[in-house]
């Protein structure tokens, strides 16, 4: 029976992945949590933690399997070692749901208070995963709800607030005969359908051309192919109609300082006919290269945005793991952090760049969703997901952009190497998208937006502290209970 329950928890975690893109069965997210809670009902702290860990292993194993491609095909790790590395990562990330289940079991709340207390415990685990050890909130529970009733809560409470609400609903589903228990989360879900959503207003339009070069990752940093790739890219830019051309992250794999003078001059000449926002590296070997988006206009380099939230192992080396990163032979594996930059003002719009997975961290970009000199009207994401293949990862990352659009009511445009190159409007709807793994240009006329959502306002003023305060309530309760027991 014990083995069966752990296998069932593992399956529930894997099933939850179907709630996210590209599948989109959002209702499975709270249902999977309900299944986990049903298995953990009445169990002790250790057994509940084990079930939470099994759930997490299924969740992250099924949701992040594509990391195997980067580790094995591009990193050169033998397949067994790549699988082992994935299992270790999944086991580490599984500590968060394990801790949530253990804390909930330790509290032993009454049936009436069990659902909201589980939601609080789950919120604590999601916030910790999002912020500790530089943070890795990939496929956090709330991301499944870019559609459905809870999507209406995005501009009010953000992705982690949605995760709290769905966890509450998941626990309440186990007590269908107690209206006092399930009525509140049901009412909150339905409220999401009628909450006001108009917090931004039109701020003009801008013509953009989103490039998708479709360069195979195995070719991208090959010295014998770089010159041809650069020539093809510049030809693609030259053929684009008037309007801003946005190219992917590291589309110029040779750092600007090391680029051929003739190539630099051609880029400058092309920018006289159209503005360019191109991904490259700026800096030096001594100080560290910075993953950068360069804005060219009128024959001059006028704008730089350096990536600030770096990816562990791929862009910076965590202490003690240099041997592992060196074994993977990843180009540009030790990068410097970019400085904060104001948006690029162009054509009456203020463009806020985001490089690759920076758009997972809404708390880092909230200043651009308020008012003042840092306020943006359009978010632009430049990514290269060719490291991870095509299946699932492109759609998952696109869904994160949809959530940011919902939270801040700003359009998001994405230029990627192999996909998903797309335009997401301020309502989180994908308005246009290029087919993956094809060379192409997506031309769109984007309406910029100005104004701040309630979520942006309180996140900008307080950060995630209000959610952390809510998440710490169970720990305060445990401490008070222990103190009362010790007192005479």
Residue 178 predicted with pLDDT over 90: no
CA distance 377 to 343: 9
Residue ranges and CATH numbers for the domains of the chain are 2-196+463-486 (no CATH), 203-452 (3.60.110.10)
* Cβ pair 310, 318 in contact under 8 A: no
Contacts (Cβ under 8 Å, ≥6 apart) of 138: 63, 64, 357, 360, 396
C-alpha torsion angle, residues 318, 322, 326, 330 (rounded to 10): 10
329 has pLDDT over 70: no
Does residue 331 or residue 244 have the better pLDDT? 244
322 is catalytic: no
Query: pLDDT value at position 400?
Result: 97
Q: Write out the E strands in 307-360.
A: 344-346, 349-355
Condensed to tens digits (0 to 9), the pLDDT of residues 24-79 reads 999 999 999 999 999 999 899 999 999 999 999 999 999 999 999 988 887 778 89
Q: In the prediction, which pLDDT does 483 show?
A: 66
CB atoms within 10 A of CB 215: 24
Q: What is the mean pLDDT of residues 202-208?
A: 95
| Helical axes 95-107 vs 28-40, angle rounded to 10° | 50
Distance CA 464, CA 481 (A): 27
Res. 313: pLDDT tops 80? no
Q: Residue 170 corresponds to which tokens in the numbers above?
A: 């998941």
Tens-digit pLDDT profile for residues 104-113: 998 877 888 8
Rounded CA gap, 455 and 463, in Å? 10
470 closest CA partner among 132, 125, 166, 95: 125
Lowest mean pLDDT among 14-23, 251-260, 413-422, 430-439: 251-260
Please give the average per-residue pLDDT across 173-182, as a whole number.
Answer: 83
144: pLDDT strictly greater than 70: yes
DSSP state of 6: H
Q: How far is CA 156 from CA 252, 330, 472, in A?
A: 39, 40, 21
Residue 418: pLDDT over 90? yes
139 SS3 class: coil
Catalytically annotated residue among 126, 249, 358, 407: 249
**Could you confirm whether 121 is annotated as catalytic?**
no
- pLDDT for the residue numbered 203: 93
- The answer to whether 59 and 17 have CB atoms below 8 angstroms apart is yes
Q: Which residues lie across from 246 on neighbouring strands?
A: 210, 277
Res. 214 pLDDT band, cuts 50 70 90: very high
CB atoms near residue 430 (< 10 Å): 19
**Segment among 69-78, 205-214, 244-253 with least mean pLDDT:** 69-78
Q: Of 121, 126, 220, 307, which one is the catalytic site residue?
A: 307
pLDDT at residue 333 in the model: 56
Task: Give the SS3 label for residue 413.
Answer: strand
Separation of alpha carbons 85 and 121, rounded Å:
28
Residue 488 confidence (pLDDT): 55
- According to DSSP, the residues that pair with 484 across neighbouring strands are none
The percentage of residues in the chain with a pLDDT greater than 90, rounded to a whole number, is 67
How far is Cα 187 from Cα 184, in angstroms, rounded to an integer? 5
Give the Cα separation of 42 and 108 in Å (integer): 9
Mean pLDDT of the chain: 90
Q: For residue 205, is pLDDT > 90?
A: yes
Q: Tell me the C-alpha distance between 314 and 333, whole Å.
A: 5
Nearest CA-CA partner of 137 in 121, 126, 150, 124: 126
By three-state DSSP, how is residue 221 classified?
coil
With H, G, I as helix, E, B as strand and everything else as coil, classify residue 420.
coil
Read off the pLDDT of residues 362-372 as tens digits, 9 standing for 90 and up.
999 999 999 88
353-396, pLDDT tens digit by residue? 999 989 999 999 999 999 887 899 999 999 999 989 888 999 99
Pick from 150-154, 285-289, 315-319, 453-457: least confident: 315-319
pLDDT at 401: 97
Q: What is the DSSP letter of 388?
A: G
Of 121, 126, 356, 358, the active-site residue reads 356
Assess contact for 350 and 374: CB atoms under 8 A. Answer: no
- Res 331 pLDDT > 60: no
- Token look-up 């980067």 returns 70
Q: Which helix (H) or strand (E) holds 244?
A: strand 244-246
More confident residue, 27 or 476: 27
Question: Which positions ≥6 away from 423 have C-beta within 8 Å?
Answer: 208, 210, 411, 412, 413, 414, 430, 431, 432, 433, 442, 444, 446
CA angle (359 as vertex; 356, 360 as ends), nearest 5: 105
Q: What pLDDT score does 207 carry? A: 96
């Amino acid at each position: 029976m014990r083995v069966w329950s752990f296998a069932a928890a593992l399956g529930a975690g894997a099933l939850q992945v179907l709630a996210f893109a590209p599948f989109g069965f959002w209702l499975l997210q709270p249902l999977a949590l309900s299944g986990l809670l049903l298995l953990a009902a009445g169990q002790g702290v250790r057994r509940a933690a084990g079930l939470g860990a099994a759930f997490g292993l299924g969740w992250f194993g099924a949701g992040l399997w594509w990391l195997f491609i980067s580790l094995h095909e591009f990193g050169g790790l033998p397949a067994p070692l790549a699988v082992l590395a994935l299992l270790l990562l999944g086991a580490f990330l599984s500590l968060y749901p394990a801790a949530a289940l253990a804390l909930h079991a330790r509290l032993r709340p009454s049936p009436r208070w069990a659902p909201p207390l589980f939601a609080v415990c789950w919120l604590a685990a999601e916030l910790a995963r999002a912020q500790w050890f530089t943070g890795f909130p990939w496929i956090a529970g709330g991301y499944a709800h870019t559609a459905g009733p809870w999507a209406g809560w995005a501009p009010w409470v953000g992705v982690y607030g949605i995760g709290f609400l769905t966890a509450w609903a998941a626990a309440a589903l186990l007590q269908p005969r107690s209206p006092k228990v399930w009525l509140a989360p049901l009412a909150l879900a339905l409220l999401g359908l009628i909450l006001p959503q108009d917090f931004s207003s039109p701020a003009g339009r801008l013509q953009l051309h989103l490039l998708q070069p479709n360069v195979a990752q195995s070719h991208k940093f090959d010295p014998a192919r770089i010159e041809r790739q650069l020539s093809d890219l510049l030809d693609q830019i030259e053929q684009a109609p008037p309007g801003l051309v946005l190219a992917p992250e590291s589309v110029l794999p040779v750092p600007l300082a090391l680029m051929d003078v003739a190539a630099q001059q051609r880029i400058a000449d092309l920018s006289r006919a159209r503005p360019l926002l191109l991904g490259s590296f700026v800096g030096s070997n001594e100080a560290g290269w910075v993953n950068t988006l360069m804005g060219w206009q009128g024959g001059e380099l006028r704008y730089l945005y350096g990536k600030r939230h770096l990816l562990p192992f791929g862009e910076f080396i965590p202490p003690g793991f240099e041997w592992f990163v060196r074994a993977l032979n990843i180009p540009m594996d030790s990068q410097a952090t970019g400085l904060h930059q104001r948006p690029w003002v162009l054509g009456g719009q203020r463009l806020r760049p985001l490089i690759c997975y920076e758009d997972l961290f809404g708390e880092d970009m909230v200043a651009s969703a308020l008012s003042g000199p840092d306020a943006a009207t359009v978010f632009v994401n430049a990514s290269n997901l060719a490291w991870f293949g095509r299946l699932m990862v492109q759609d998952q990352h696109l869904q994160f952009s949809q959530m940011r659009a919902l939270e801040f009511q700003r359009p998001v445009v994405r230029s990627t190497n192999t996909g998903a190159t797309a335009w997401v409007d301020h309502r989180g709807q994908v308005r246009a998208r290029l087919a993956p793994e094809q060379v192409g240009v997506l031309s769109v006329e984007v309406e910029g937006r100005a104004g701040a959502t309630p979520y942006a306002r309180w996140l900008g003023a307080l950060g995630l502290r209000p959610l952390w305060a809510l998440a710490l309530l169970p720990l305060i309760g445990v401490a008070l209970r222990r103190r009362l027991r010790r007192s005479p």
